[in-house]
Structure 1
């Protein structure tokens, strides 16, 4: 039974890996092509490019680290390349999360309508606000890497004092839990900001529908459609990232028992977020959706 489940998880992981690379690569290709041809690119497309690149890196990091941990655990315990793997995973996950959050803020400032002076100030200077938030995220990234580096040095110090294999494996499990806990704590801020953006978008849509008196025309006007489309994108991000955090939580538990089956389950859930959310971004973006339909039509015509 265990071998069957491992085979199923392997097939799903391969499918997620292919979908994730294709969807994120497609976002980068289409937007970069437009950038070259038109010599300009909208702020949202710039965000999508960096987001897609970070998610490609995240997908590869998850698969490589999980594979090494399952099949060559001595590489982790000896510390060979461990710092590089953890730091690169942290960086790619940081930008994958924060850029999706920034995308939520961008939709909020562009679509929502409030009379609050502070909101109007931010709305009029949306591009500068997005840039400042992006620069501010580097502070969180620096603190995150600093905290992880402290855990790493403490783990290496303990391993140098006791070089037995059993001690190294058990101590690595404790180190892994500490690192994942740190990553999760630093992920709460952007997740909370995205959640607030989602709630404000709902409130703005509610006010807009009340203004339109819930008429049939009101259900079809462009602002209503923009609200609903933005809500779909933000809620999909929140749900998928919640599943990603769930995989990390399960992984904390499995680290103590070194259960390969549970590790593969965590990998499957973890890759689902950066792969499928990018696919939903394509479907929710008119330009990307039209380009994907055109590509699919050409591929179908050649067959």
Structure 2
């Protein structure tokens, strides 16, 4: 049985928890706004054109999964920090944990699918299989998205089942820290489940690395051919812009993969503060990468730059109205 902290320790803990909750809230709501913007722009384009291309389909699924992942992660984290007694009411914790894992996995699968899509569309290789993929990629994308959803759903159901079995055991919660430590012990009892999650992340990370290497080699060869022929190609700027976007995503994806491994390691060591710090890093990935996608997409960038002045004008007009109304 855990021993509760002194009043001084509780005050320090509550202050630290409040600070973490505020930081998580700011990160999550910024990421939710960015991904909601992507989804809304693509949906308006869908209504206008009555159809979507393969890239827009992936971005629509990616933005939606990231929006709901951040939303549920915020509820999960705030409940874990502040509303512990409500979190462990059956089946609130099981549902939140499984939904969070489902949207996290779908987010990673969709982002890896976008990475592979860029690789197939941009890179040029005289390989029969690669040529076949380039021709059939538009037909492959819907199957890829459906497969990502199904796999993520299986992982979400698995998380719910394993968490429900763990919580069916009798845990004694005598203070706030004991509930969080009990959730850590749940993680330790289901190492095979985390092994499956780690394998899934490793597969995604391998696909991202392989795609990045292919794109780098294709760009290098394209640039060498241009220098040899002393010609300028208009597609060179598009190659460079896409490579900047993909390389930035590769760096962020690598950091996210490292955070996953660290989460598994610190879960076994009961390092709660380190896990929350890793969560803070992970929550920046969906928003920051979506922002990179916006500025690498001309239509999304144009819409965003068009929206920001409107928001600024609205705030300035309200301030002017308040000044005129004030005596």
Indicate which of 61, 74, 95 corresponds to 1:84.
95
SS in 1 for 2:227: coil
Partner of 2:290: 278
CA drift of 1:87 comes to 1.8
Taking a change above 3 Å as real, the CA distance of residues 211 and 163 of structure 1, as seen in their structure-2 partners, is: closer
Partner of 1:49: 60
Q: TM-score, normalised by structure 1?
A: 0.85
Taking a change above 3 Å as real, the CA distance of residues 216 and 16 of structure 1, as seen in their structure-2 partners, is: farther
Partners in 2 of 1:256 and 1:79 — Cα distance?
27
CA drift of 1:291 comes to 0.8
Taking a change above 3 Å as real, the CA distance of residues 148 and 182 of structure 1, as seen in their structure-2 partners, is: farther
**Could you tell which deviates more after superposition, 225-234 or 60-69?**
225-234
Partner of 1:190: 204
Partner of 1:155: 166
Indicate which of 264, 289, 299 corresponds to 2:301.
289
**Could you tell which deviates more after superposition, 1-10 or 204-213?**
1-10
Indicate which of 200, 208, 220 corresponds to 2:222.
208
5+ unaligned residues in a row in structure 1: which ranges?
Answer: none
CA drift of 1:5 comes to 6.1
Partner of 2:244: 232
Partners in 1 of 2:211 and 2:117 — Cα distance?
9
Taking a change above 3 Å as real, the CA distance of residues 19 and 130 of structure 1, as seen in their structure-2 partners, is: same
**Equivalent pair of 2:31/2:67 in contact (CA under 8 Å):** yes
Cα deviation digits, residues 82-103 of structure 1 (max 9, x gap): 2211221122112211111111
5+ unaligned residues in a row in structure 2: which ranges?
Answer: 1-11, 317-327
Partner of 2:124: 113
Partner of 1:126: 137
Partner of 2:5: none
Taking a change above 3 Å as real, the CA distance of residues 198 and 23 of structure 1, as seen in their structure-2 partners, is: same
CA drift of 1:2 comes to 7.3
Partners in 2 of 1:30 and 1:6 — Cα distance?
36
Partner of 2:7: none
Taking a change above 3 Å as real, the CA distance of residues 245 and 109 of structure 1, as seen in their structure-2 partners, is: closer
Partner of 2:39: 28
Partners in 1 of 2:165 and 2:16 — Cα distance?
36
Partners in 2 of 1:171 and 1:140 — Cα distance?
28
CA drift of 1:204 comes to 0.6
Q: TM-score, normalised by structure 2?
A: 0.79
Taking a change above 3 Å as real, the CA distance of residues 182 and 291 of structure 1, as seen in their structure-2 partners, is: same
**Equivalent pair of 2:21/2:78 in contact (CA under 8 Å):** no
Alpha carbon RMSD of aligned pairs, Å?
Answer: 2.9
**Equivalent pair of 1:19/1:276 in contact (CA under 8 Å):** no
Cα deviation digits, residues 143-200 of structure 1 (max 9, x gap): 534643553354245x1xx454489865531323545554333222122112211110
Taking a change above 3 Å as real, the CA distance of residues 135 and 53 of structure 1, as seen in their structure-2 partners, is: closer
Residue 172 (str. 1) matches residue 152 (str. 2):
no
Partners in 1 of 2:229 and 2:72 — Cα distance?
49
Partners in 1 of 2:59 and 2:252 — Cα distance?
17
> For this pair of structures, how many residues does the alignment match?
297
Partner of 1:242: 254
